[in-house]
Chains A and B, each alone.
Chain A
Amino acid sequence: MRRKIGSPISMIRRGCCLVLLLILPVQAKMDLVTLPKRDGVQVTIYNSADLTLVRETRELTLQKGINRLQFSWANTLIDPTSLEMLPKAHADKLAIEDLTYPPRTQNLGIWTIKSQVSGKVPVEITYLTSGLDWRAFYMGTLSGDEKTMRLEGYVRVGNRSGEDYEDAQVRLIVGQVHLLDQIAELAQRQYPYGAPAGFGFRAKGDSDVRERKDEMNKVEEAEVSAVSGYMMLTDAAAAPKEIIKEGLSEYFLYTIEGKETIPNEWAKRLPSLGPFDVPVVNLYKYEEEQYGAGVVRFLSFTNDEAHKLGQTPIPDGMLRVFRTADEVGHLSYEGQSEFKYIPVNEKVELNLGGVENVVVTPTLMNFKTENFTFDSDRNVSGWDEVKTFKIEVKNTRPVAVKVEIQRNIPGVKWDLNPDGDCGLYEKVDLDTVKFTLELPPRSQKEFKYTVREYQGKRAE
């Protein structure tokens, strides 16, 4: 059954809880003073690692002297070693003395705050958590002549952290972060910083982790039905939100306009890019060693202004490509490509998979050996192998295509002579050459090349 969003019951049942404790010096008794509510929350979610930075603002009521603040996070995936508190006012009059993880108590930390003021003090509490994630995916629709592709990008944000994030500012990070430990593992440790190597406790072991993973899998299964209900709820609410993008260090930060509520176990899709009509090149590649005997189709474009892009890098994700099939806008599915991160100004080639409507056929037409050398025992010590290949290229499609043919030549020393209309010929590296041809709709081309490979002493 779908839980009502923002139900106060859910917040009590699980999630983070902050309690301010007052130590009365005589009785050494701890009294509950107040339960400060979360005033605001910001989540910064990474996609290269299971990592989210959460920043909460709360208002504490402090007494002069020593205050103890208890923060608990049962049934969440918070890394306790990442907890930090920062006063947002009276910073010079407040000292965070220590953070204690009490014995035989899990998911609980107590800050000792020495205060020279009494009254309300806003603080920021930050921590890292696991269980929130996001990924990018794309849809491309090719025009009838396949010269442009309407590109639309989306992000899908999911929450399996155990915590409801209501009215949160959601930010997404694109980039490759270096982490030493999995946040999920740190969150499930029996002791926040572990224990010395010689201590013989039974750490929360594999079985516990397995149980947790099983729970997570169940959540994933349940997610499908939950999402549809939630999307219905929000569809009528407002227009699509804008995503503000900016570069920071080696990352790109996407800030989603306004506030979002992402309850635990829910996911949300938001538009992130475009739509842009991007000029594309239909590129077909043939390289036996890389792709086998067939031709592979690529869509090529550059992430720059000339291609209506170039404002920001494009995060890695899956692109599903469709084509407008008729005048009333019916679609046909062309293929899909899982692509890598595309920096600004980089040219990309998106692999849409093998095709049969563009064909490249190399045929060995002639083979001979010559220029033999002999050693002192009259054994053969060197020779040349001369091979002539015919390359036939057929474009059976009703649109113009560009075809790249790469040939790998074994051996340390060789010469190559192209013959006929081979397009642009270039040497890629010491054993690879490339021919690039443009073919009009429904056309074919043919060229030859002869390669002389020097063997044995002839290669010296």
Chain B
Amino acid sequence: MKMTTWIRSGLLTVLGCAVGLGSAEARVKMVALPERAATVIRLDNPSATLIEEERVLTLQKGVNQVDFSWNGVSIDPDSIRLKVLNHPDQVTLLNVSYPPNEAALVWEISSAEPVEERVRISYLLANIDRLITYRFLANKPETQVDFKSYLVLRNFSGEDFGTSRVQLDYGEAFEQAIGHEETKQLLFLDAGKVPITKVWEFDANQLPWDPEKVEGNVGIPVSYQIENKEASGLGKNALWGGKVRVFQDDGHGSTIVLGEDSAALVPVGEKMKVNIGDSRDIKVVQRKMKEERINLRKNVNDQVVLYDTDEIIKTTLENFKDSPAVLTVIEYIPGQWDMVECNLKYEKKNSEKIEFQVALNPKEKKELMMHYQRRNLR
């Protein structure tokens, strides 16, 4: 993209006396470039970035016209505001005009006296935003992570920003300069050691029941859970959503990559769940051993109009690891049902979803038998 010097140098505020506001060519511009000062980039709203900048205008007594143009920069024109800071009782914004075929506007400002007036201009600017990324380093026993979060500033607005105050949702504003098409990565939050819980999860609706019959390796998804609470060294603010990369200390002064995931926003008190990969050392094989119709109810033509089913599901859970694991097993029984017998304790999560927490010792194999009856099927 080719840019002229004055456009690249920033939004151009032109102070001058305009002789009428006819066509663009007919407008006379007397250039006096007030220096931009006290620029604030507000990134507290993830969908739009608000820029606030202060400039000193040299106003004559009477009506002044101030030209503000933004060629090559994506400003929402309806969002532009002007606030008089020094003499609000003497300086009044009369009206705003938009010249034809130009990315510009003209403020008509009345001043009671000749004055150097500081004003604050604010506007919504597109294509400048921030991302959040996380980098966790787990210890070897996988009980805690070094929790670091980075702020990534991306500026593709067409505008170069010199040293500006950058304000996020929370925390102190900080100073940063960022040019057009520049990306900057800054350490944003270093929470130190944060405890984690490692979770293995078999979901009967998501994973194959017999891994042997599937081409390729089948693994059990493994996640780390982090609670956004004070006891974890967090809990002061919500954790923004972003990409999480997880590494692990290998015990030899180096690290390995465990995996990466995309975290959603985590309010205070909630848990962040980061899927790091699949375990091939925990194996789940599930088989339906029985499915019979029972309690048949018939109409006058001896046709079955209502029945129950008697079903048995056998699930084999095997830990090939040298370390223990607590496996979450999620099972689904649709419709109305009663559990006749189940050899392991479960928690009903909703009408058709039940969850088991099965502790497996190293090299241990367990069997889960569910005998249930589904009711009133037609």
Contact = CB atoms under 8 A, between A and B. Distances in A.
A and B are interacting partners: yes
Interface of A: 42, 44, 46, 48, 51, 53, 55, 81-82, 84, 96-104, 126, 128, 171, 173, 175-180, 191-196, 198-199, 201, 247-251, 253, 290, 313, 316, 340-341, 343-346, 375-377, 381, 412-413, 427-430, 457, 459-460
Interface string B35-69: 00000000000000000000000000000000000
Contacts of B154: 191, 193-196
Contacts of A177: 257-259, 276-277
Contacts of B261: 178, 180
A313 B288 contact: no
B328 interface: no
A399 B259 CA distance: 48
A259 to B, nearest CB: 15
Contact of B279 (A82, A171, A250, A377): A250
B127 interface: yes
16 contacts: A44-B256, A44-B257, A100-B183, A176-B278, A177-B276, A178-B278, A193-B152, A194-B154, A313-B280, A313-B320, A344-B320, A376-B302, A429-B287, A457-B302, A460-B296, A460-B304
B255 interface: yes
Q: In the complex, which of the residues A126, A171, A249, A316 has the most CB atoms of chain B within 10 Å of its own CB atom? A: A249
Contact of A104 (B181, B185, B258, B320): B181
Given A97-B186, A128-B257, A430-B291, A198 B320 contact: no
A259 B261 CA distance: 33
B281 interface: yes
A430 B127 contact: no
A103 B131 contact: no
Contacts of A413: 292
Contacts of A316: 217
A387 B146 CA distance: 66
Interface of B: 74, 126-129, 131, 133, 135, 138, 140, 142, 152, 154, 156, 176, 179-187, 213, 216-217, 219, 221-222, 243, 245, 247-248, 250, 254-262, 275-281, 283, 287-293, 296, 300-304, 320-322, 363
A247 B289 CA distance: 36
A340 to B, nearest CB: 5
Contacts of B138: 249
A96 B257 contact: no
Nearest to A340: B217
Contacts of A250: 219, 222, 258, 276-281
A126 B289 contact: no
B219 A103 contact: no
A100 B278 CA distance: 34
Contacts, number: 176
A435 B11 CA distance: 83
Contacts of A253: 250, 256
Contact of B302 (A126, A178, A375): A375
A306 to B, nearest CB: 14
- For chain B, what secondary structure do more than half of its interface residues adopt (helix, strand, loop), or is it mixed? strand
A178 B260 contact: yes
A253 B257 CA distance: 11
B273 to A, nearest CB: 12
A193 B181 CA distance: 11
Contacts of B301: 375-377
B221 to A, nearest CB: 8
Contacts of A82: 245
Q: In the complex, which of the residues A44, A253, A341, A343 has the most CB atoms of chain B within 10 Å of its own CB atom? A: A343
Given A180-B243, A429-B288, 15 more contacts: A55-B254, A98-B184, A175-B277, A177-B259, A180-B262, A191-B156, A193-B154, A193-B185, A196-B127, A196-B156, A198-B126, A249-B142, A251-B277, A341-B217, A412-B292
Contacts of B182: 100-103
A198 B140 contact: no
A276 B136 CA distance: 40
A192 B181 CA distance: 11
B153 to A, nearest CB: 9
A103 B180 contact: yes
Contacts of A175: 277-278, 280
A459 B243 CA distance: 55
Given A173-B256, A343-B320, A199 B280 contact: no
Contacts of A344: 281, 320, 322
Given A193-B152, A248-B248, A375-B301, A176 B280 contact: yes
B256 A176 contact: no
Contacts of A251: 256, 258, 277
Contact of A248 (B74, B187, B222, B256): B256
B156 A346 contact: no
A101 B277 contact: no
Given A175-B280, A195-B127, A198-B126, A103 B254 contact: no
Contact of B281 (A46, A313, A381, A457): A313
Contacts of A55: 254-255
B250 A176 contact: no
A146 B302 CA distance: 61
Nearest to A343: B320
Given A51-B257, A195-B156, A341 B280 contact: yes
Nearest to A381: B302
Contacts of B276: 177-178, 249-250
B363 A430 contact: no
Return the 4 tightest CB-CB contacts between A and B, nearest first. A343-B320, A103-B181, A176-B278, A178-B259
Contact of B219 (A81, A176, A459): A176
A412 B187 contact: no
A242 B6 CA distance: 65
Contact of A126 (B185, B213, B248, B255): B255
B74 A198 contact: yes
Nearest to A251: B256
A98 B186 CA distance: 5
A48 B277 CA distance: 10
Contact of A249 (B184, B254, B258): B258
